[in-house]
Structure formats: structure tokens, C-alpha cells
Structure 1
Amino acid sequence: MLAYPTEITDPVYIKKESLSIFQQFLKHFIKDPRDLPFLQLIVSLHLTVIPLAVLLYLPVLEGYWWWAVAIPYFYISQFYFKGSFGLMLHCLCHRNMWKPNWQWVQKYILWFLSPFFGHLGESYNSHHIGMHHIAGNLPEDSSSTMAYQRDSLKDFIRYWLNFMLMGFLDTYQYLFRRKLKKYYVPLTWSEFLFILFAIVMCFVNLKATMVIFVIPFFFARLVMMLGNWTQHAFVDPDQPGDELASTLICINTVYNHKCWNDGYHAFHHFKPSVHYTEYPLMLEKYKKQLAEKRTFIFSGVHYLHIFTWLMTRNYEKLADHLVNLNGTFKSKEDAIELLKARVKKFENLVKDKTVQEEIMVN
């Protein structure tokens, strides 16, 4: 196990004395200068991903030349930019960053840019804001991990397939039952229009549509489910709805620099509207609560490491990267015992909210 680090290297906001002419121009669109990196990312996408995607659709490349562009395109869009875009989308769903005259840019991002990275219009926003943050990984959440053994590859495959086949229907039913029309209508249109769009574009250029839109869709849902599985792998059997007890934090990792402090998932559920640059500063403030809840804080690693060690049941590695905050764990063996206890499948779960609440109380 690790001692609490003397330095947190994850990104925080540091006000610059002067901005470049380009940054000053971008600042006119947003309410908070802390969001400038998002605009810089959007500009980068329009200089790389979008032109290359258009080129793949044009009848100017054939044979090997087409693949010579398609392969780098797929790497750039789906490996280099995908994480940054996806987590920017996540932040934009939680906080409105646009000045009044530029609110339309949000729709542009959701409906034009998002499909290049496997996201369908407002599907993500409807699922994440309309359901996930309300249901909070409890059984009514269509992406809940509670019904699965969370150190089992077999159960993860079942989890992913269930979401692929039933995720839309389960999310729609959740939103419809609560009369959340502002979420279930955009969700339905987003899914339907993407399918229609993909079919039409396959007749325009099958190869380009598969590389640019169809494969990224399946890849995105795999990555999102892998991330959600890991973020909600360790669920406190006594307090499954507690944000600090049943989620985790990854600190001092390069992933937080690329993906806007997404490693601070426990804090994100605890304070979802907080700007991502504030999460590292919250560690000191909530030290006592984190220790009391025995929140798992991993240092120097990110979700892919944790997922891999869970699938191989390498609890030694997991424990080696745990931060022992204020003596949270008596020993490495104590930490491993708790890690194993929090990945166990919950039996006899029900999705009905009133019955569910009775179970949680009892």
C-alpha cells in the first residue's frame, strides 16, 4: 500500500497572467476561462478528424491509398482523441459553459461531432444526467453493476451485452415512468436517427461509414461500459447508494490530464456540478470522510489497470496501489479482504424503487 502523497500532480486551474491572441478570441464564447482547453480540443478536432473523415468519403482515394488514410484516421479519432472528447462531453453535460449567444454550439457538439466518436446525439446526456446520476448505480440504473460479480470476465461480457441489447429500452422505461420527457424524447430521436443515418451513409460509402461511424459506436459503448464497470466495481454491501463508499478515486495519473480528472469518480458523484479542476483540491478537504467511508483511492494507475487486475483477480497489485489514508486499512491483508467484499454480486435485486428502498433500509 501507499502513503498519502506529498504532492498531487493532477490538473488544477492556474490563472495565466496573459493569454495568446487565439485564447483571447476563444474566451469570447465561454463563461468560465477554465473551459478554454475544451475549445482548444474542439478546434483540434476540426483540423484533424473532420477533414480526414470527409476525405475518406470523397472518391479521390482508392485501394491502398484509402487504407493509408483510414488507419491513421481511426487511430487519431478512436485512440488519441476519443477519451478526451468523451470526457469533455461528460463535463459539458454537467455544466453549461457557453455564453447566451453561443448556446447553439452545445447542440452542434452533440449532434454533429459526437457521432464521430460513437456517441449518438443526446443519448449520452439522457442516460447520464437523466438516469445514472439519479439512480446512482442502484438496481434501477440500466448500467448498474450490482447484479454482477465484478472480478469476473464472464460477468463483464454479460454486462456489456445486456447494455448493448437492453440499455436503450431500460433507460427509456426508467425515464418514461418518471415522466422525464425532456430526456426520453431526445434519447429516442438520437438512437433512431443514428441508425437511419448509418444505413443511408452505408449506401454512400460502406467502408467509410463503418470506419467513421459504425465501428466507433460499438467501440464507444464497450469503452463506456468498461469505464462504468470499473468506476462502480467496488460497491459497499452495507451502503450501496453512498457515493464515497461505493465508488473510487484515481490520483496522480496521466489519465487525469488527458481526460479532465475523470479519475475522481467518487467526488464526481458526491459533487457532480463541481468543475473538474477543483477535484484534486477536494482531497484535503474531505480526508476525514474518505477515511471513514474507506473509499478506495488508487495512485499512479487508471481504470484500465484496475479493470485488468480485477479480471485477473490480482488483488496484490490492486492493494499495492491503494492509498492508506489516515490508517484506513490495518494491513495489506485487511485491504484485500475489503476489496474482495466490495466486488461481490448482490443477490435477489429488484428494480422497483419502493421495494428497493425497503431493502436498502433493512
Structure 2
Amino acid sequence: VPSWLGGSWLLHALDDKRDAPAAYLVANAMLTALPCMLGLFICQCNNHWVGAAYLVLNYALYLQRFMLTLHVTEHRRLFKREYGALNLVVPYLLCPLYGVPCGLYRPHHVVMHHVEDNRQSGDISSTEPYQRDNFIHFLLYWCRYWVGAWFELPAYSIKRRRFSLLGATVTSEALYWVAVAGLWQLNRVATLWSLVIPFLLSSFLLMFGNWSQHIFVDPDDPRNPYKHTYNCLACPDNCRTYNDGYHVIHHLNSRLHWSEMPQQLLDTLEQHDANDALAFRQLGFFDVGLNVFLGRLDFLARHIVPCGPKQAARTQQEWVQLLKRRLQPIHTKR
């Protein structure tokens, strides 16, 4: 963002200067994606090819980086308290352009997923009860999200007696549906390509991402962050996703700044080894999930990086057996 467009002020407003890449991403989306989306309605677009071109271009340019910008800025605020209104831009204004209903990411991910830690009795996005190498089970998991989350998130708030969260969640859901319904009446083609299809597409990708991140869960110790997710190392995705591949580290401390995660991994290698934490080399989460569905556990085993002497002594076949065991459904309520 050039200084004449407020680039210098943007850096000044940041709560942490290390988050400049996130601020630039938000600014660029505001200056390009949002005007293009509004243009579909202003120009009364009724051409599906134009709508499809908008969606493809917007997703190709921003989707992965935006989703992870949303992720890191919901865990740690992007702008200083005195510029608090700016912290609403990502979760409320830009989110629907990428298929995430406004205001629902925080209660679903930050409040529920991290507090419940993939526990099936509390986390509606828990992967525990599924056979995680079964694609049909994944489709059921995805459908539960895009159909059931509207009801299960408020129910979760009631169950945990989080009534302020309940109010915010129900209000966000109502505003989202009113906006979608109103825009649908205004221009169905523009709404279809800017809001409806992005919701279906992004919900699939988000759920496949979460499924893949929590695809290997130790049935004997499912609450242990070292054993219900894994790290992706030397992975190109980490350069675009704020080190999202360090997922064990993230679940151990979701407030840790993304720039500190590699060092934190080095500082906890002994614990990773003792707890049999998985680490894959040069593979991202989608790579891992896809290879599980293809039955290529031997391929995944060859990409495991031992975290210490205990893991280094394990043979490839022993790794395959460990992976198979961590794919089994877990029905305990603990």
C-alpha cells in the first residue's frame, strides 16, 4: 500500500508491527475485491460468466491468504484499541466475500474449537467420531457444518451459559440471512456468485482443512495437543499462511504470535518426541488429507520428520501402523 493511500498510517495503527503483511492484505482486498463485488450489483450484472470470472479471480488472488489473515487477526487483534472499529472490517465486512458468514468465525473457531480442543462433546467441528480416511464420513462432516452450525453454535452458547456470545451469534446469523435475502431480491446472479457459491465452496475447503489438521488423533490421549494434530514443516504454504503449519504449537498456545512459532517448535522438540507428535516435511494440510483418502499412508510415513531419538528409532512400517491407529473413530466423551 503506497504512502499516498495511507500505507504509513496503516503501519502506525497496527497493534503489532509484525502484522504488516496482514494489514496490507486487508487493505488490498478493500481496494480491489470489495469494489468489484459491489460493481456486480451497481452494474446490475445478470451474466453468469461475469459472476464466475469475479469469483475465480477473487479466490485466486486472495482466498488462502484472506482465510489465514482472518485466523490470525481473530486470535490477536490487528489494530490498536483506539482504532477498534477497524478490527471489525475482516470478520464482518470482508468475510462474506470469501464464504464466511459475518461475525461467526470467532465463536466457531476461537471460542468453541480452541476451548473444546476437538472434543466431540463440545466442538461441533470435532473430527473424533468419524473414520477419518473415509470420504463419505468427510461429506457428512461437511454437511453438518453448513446445515447444522446455524443451530449448533447458539445451542453451544446456551450449553456453556455464554449468553452474551449467544446474543452476538444469533444477531450475526440474522443479519447475514437478511442481507443475503435482500441482495437476492435485488440481483440473483450477483448474489449467487458473490455470496452463495462462496459459502458452499469455502465451507467445503474450511472443513476439509480442519478435517486434515485433526485427521490423526490418538484414541488413548485425544485431549493432548501433541496427539490430535501435527506440524507441517518446510512447507511452501507456511510462507503464505502465517506459519499455519505449526499446528501443534498453535494448539498449545493459540495466542502465540505466528512469527514465533518456528522457534517455539525448536524449544519443545523434546516434548514433541516424548508425546509422539507428528511432523511432516514439505507437505501441507491438504496434501496430508488427500493422501489419507488415497490410502497413501506409506507416502506420508516417508515424509515424517522425527522430533528426537524416540521417534528416530521407529521404522517406516511402525509409522504406518501409528497413522492407521490415529485414523480410528473415537467415541469417548472425555
Same-fold call, TM > 0.5?
A: yes
For 1:183, give the aligned amino acid: L
Pair 337,98 (structure 1): closer, same or farther in 2 beyond 3 Å:
same
Find out whether 1:27 has 2:11 as its counterpart: yes
Deviation at 1:106, TM superposition (A): 1.3
Which one of 298, 305, 315 corresponds to residue 316 of structure 1?
A: 298
Q: Partner of 2:35 in structure 1? A: 51
Percent of paired sites with the same residue: 27
Which one of 77, 97, 103 corresponds to residue 58 of structure 2?
A: 77
Find out whether 1:218 has 2:200 as its counterpart: yes
Deviation at 1:218, TM superposition (A): 1.3
Does the aligned pair in 2 maintain the 1:130–1:175 contact within 8 Å? no
Deviation at 1:59, TM superposition (A): 2.9
Find out whether 1:296 has 2:275 as its counterpart: no
Find out whether 1:131 has 2:115 as its counterpart: no
Partner of 1:317: helix, strand, or coil?
Answer: helix
1:100-146 CA-to-partner distances (Å, cap 9, x unmatched) read 32100112322211111111121110111221111110112101111
For 1:137, give the aligned amino acid: N
Counterparts of residues 207-286 of structure 1 (less than 5 Å): 207-286=189-268
Does the aligned pair in 2 maintain the 1:30–1:98 contact within 8 Å? yes
Does the aligned pair in 2 maintain the 1:130–1:183 contact within 8 Å? no
For 1:106, give the aligned amino acid: N
How many residue pairs get aligned? The number is 329
For 2:315, give the aligned amino acid: S
For 1:93, give the aligned amino acid: E
Deviation at 1:206, TM superposition (A): 0.5
Q: Structure 1 CA distance, aligned partners of 2:112 and 2:150?
A: 12
Runs of 4+ in 1 over 4 A off after TM superposition: 19-23, 60-63
Partner of 1:298: helix, strand, or coil?
Answer: strand
Deviation at 1:317, TM superposition (A): 1.3
Does the aligned pair in 2 maintain the 1:49–1:76 contact within 8 Å? no
Partner of 1:335: helix, strand, or coil?
Answer: helix
Q: Structure 1 CA distance, aligned partners of 2:209 and 2:277?
A: 18
Deviation at 1:27, TM superposition (A): 1.4
Find out whether 1:115 has 2:96 as its counterpart: yes
Q: Partner of 2:181 in structure 1? A: 199
Q: Structure 1 CA distance, aligned partners of 2:83 and 2:236?
A: 32
Q: Structure 2 CA distance, aligned partners of 1:62 and 1:211?
A: 11
Q: Structure 2 CA distance, aligned partners of 1:25 and 1:293?
A: 45
1:181-205 CA-to-partner distances (Å, cap 9, x unmatched) read 2322221122222112111101111
Segments of structure 1 that go 5 or more residues without pairing to the other structure are: 1-18, 350-355, 358-362
Q: Partner of 1:337 in structure 2? A: 321
For 2:104, give the aligned amino acid: S
Q: Structure 2 CA distance, aligned partners of 1:61 and 1:337?
A: 54
Tell me the C-alpha RMSD between the 2 structures.
1.8
Deviation at 1:270, TM superposition (A): 0.3
Q: Partner of 2:74 in structure 1? A: 93
1:312-352 CA-to-partner distances (Å, cap 9, x unmatched) read 111111112111222415110011010000010124x4xxx
1:85-109 CA-to-partner distances (Å, cap 9, x unmatched) read 1111111111123223210011232
Q: Structure 2 CA distance, aligned partners of 1:164 and 1:269?
A: 24
Q: Structure 1 CA distance, aligned partners of 2:132 and 2:145?
A: 15
| Structure number with higher relative contact order (C-alpha < 8 Å, ≥ 6 residues apart) | 1
